[in-house]
Amino acid sequence: MADAIETKKIYLKVFRFNHETDYLPYYKNYEVVVSQDEVMLDVLNKIKWEFDSTFSYRRSCRHGICGSCGIKVNNRATLACKERVFDMIELFGNEMTIEPQSRKRVIKDMVIDKKDFWDKYNAVKPYMITAVDEHPDSENYMSPHDYENLKEADICVQCGNCYYACPSVEVNEDYLGPASLAKTYRFNFDTRDEAKIDRLDTVNDLGSGIWDCVKCYECAEACPKGVNPIEKITYLHTQTFQEGRAKSNVATRHAVGFKTSINMHGFLDEGMLVAYSEGIGVLKHLPEAFKMFRKGKIAMPWNMPKSKNLDEIKKLIKSSSSAKF
C-alpha cells in the first residue's frame, strides 16, 4: 500500500454577500478536509463544489501569475493559488476566516470591484514612454545591471493584495497606494524610459502621493511576489530630491530637517523639526505643544540633549552626504 496522504480538517468562517439579493453580508461556516499539497484555492473550490455552487471568487491561471485570486485569510492578504493550506494552518491553527480583499468593495462573496485599484494604476502611466524606432535594427538593450536595479518591481501581477492591505488607502481614498507607486518605480528606474519627471510630479502631490505613505510595511508583507512596494516608495522619495523635483512643502522639509537637526545636536530637535517642516503652519500644533509642555515633554533650547562626540557626526554628515535640497 502506498503511504497514506496526510490530511487535516479546517474550520472555516466564510464571508458571503450578493449585492443583488443581500442587504447585509453574513458569514457561513464550513468544515473542509485538506491534504498536504493543496493550496487555499483548492479550499475555495471545495466550498463551491462540495457545499454551495453559487460561491463566487476569481481565479484563472492557478499559477500565481494572473493575479486574480487575492483574498484575505484571518486578515492576511493571500494569493489563494500560491499559499499552501498546511502553511496557513501552521500560521493560524485550523480555524480560518475567509474574506474578500476589501469588504467595502464586494460584489459577490470574494469578488470585489477593483476599479479604484485600476484607476490609480493607470494614473501613473504604467508603460514605457520612449521615442523608439518602430523598426529597429537591433534590440533596445538593457544591461543586466540596469535590469537588476528594477529590484523585482517588474514582476508585480496586479493582484491588489498590497493595495487592499494598505491602511493609508483605507482612510484616504485619494492615496495612490503601494501597487501604483511600485509601478512608478518600475518605469522611473528603467534606463530606457523618458517620462520619469512627469511621473515624479504626479506622485509628489500631497494627499495622494509618496508622502502619504505611513511606512507600516503592510505592503511588503502582503505581496506574494516579493515586490516590496515600500522599498520602491523610498527610492521615489530619493529620486525626487536627486532630480530636483522636490517642491518645498511640509513633507520634503520634514525629510531634510532630520539632517539639519542631526548636524546641530546629533539628536533630533523635535520642536525645531516641526517648526521648520510646517513653516507658519506650526501654529496649529500649539494646543498639543502646550499639553506636552505642561507634562514636561518639550526639551528647551538650553537643555536640548546633544550627542557625545558630536564633531564626528558633523564630519560624517559633511563627507557622506549624497543628496541636495
Partner 1 sequence: MKYALYTGCTAKESTPELLKSTMAVAKVLGIELTILEEASCCGASHLQDFDEFLSLVLNARNICYAEKLGLTLITICNTCQINLATTKDRLDNDEELKDRVNEKLKEVGLEYKGSSEVKHLLYVLRDELGYEKIKNMVKKPLSDFNIAPFYGCHNIRPSELQNITNKGENPYNPTSLDELIETLGGKAVEYVRKNSCCGFHADLQAPNTAAKLTGLALSEAIDNNADFVVTPCPLCQLNFDVKQHEAGKKVGRDIELPVLHLAQMIGLALGLNKKELGLEHNVTEADF
* Contact residues: partner 1, CB under 8 A: 74-76, 91-92, 167-168, 171-172, 175, 206-207, 211-218, 220-221, 228, 234, 237-238, 241, 249-251, 254-256, 258-259, 261-262, 266-268, 270, 274, 277-278, 288, 291-292, 295-299, 305, 307-309, 312-313, 315-317, 319-323, 325
Output the nine-digit C-alpha cell for 231: 522599498
The one-character DSSP state at 52 is -
How far apart are CB 39 and ligand SF4 at their closest, in Å?
A: 17
Picking from 114, 76, 82, the residue whose alpha carbon sits closest to that of residue 98 is 76
By CB under 6 A, the residues from 233 to 292 that bind ligand SF4 are 233
- Please give the residues from 144 up to 173 whose contact with ligand SF4 meets the rule CB under 6 A: 156-162, 166-168
Angle at 64 between CA 58 and CA 67, to 5 degrees: 45
Q: Give the nearest distance from C-beta 76 to ligand SF4 in angstroms.
A: 12
Helix 196-203 with 229-242: angle, nearest 10 deg: 110
Binding mask 32-71 for ligand FES (x = CB under 6 A): ---------------------------xxxx-xxxxxx--
Amino acid at 85: V
- Residue placing its CB nearer to ligand FES in the complex, 64 or 178: 64
Count CA atoms closer than 13 A to 311's CA, side-chain side: 0
Question: Contacting ligand FES (CB under 6 A), which of 81, 111, 165, 223?
Answer: 81
Three-state secondary structure call for residue 135: coil
Residue with cell string 458569514: 27
Instruction: Give dist(CA 137, CA 116) in Å, integer.
Output: 41
Task: For residue 221, give the H/E element and its range.
Answer: helix 218-222
Contacting residues toward ligand SF4, per CB under 6 A = 156-162, 166-168, 178-179, 182, 213-219, 222-223, 225, 227, 229-230, 233
Contacting residues toward ligand FES, per CB under 6 A = 59-62, 64-69, 79-81
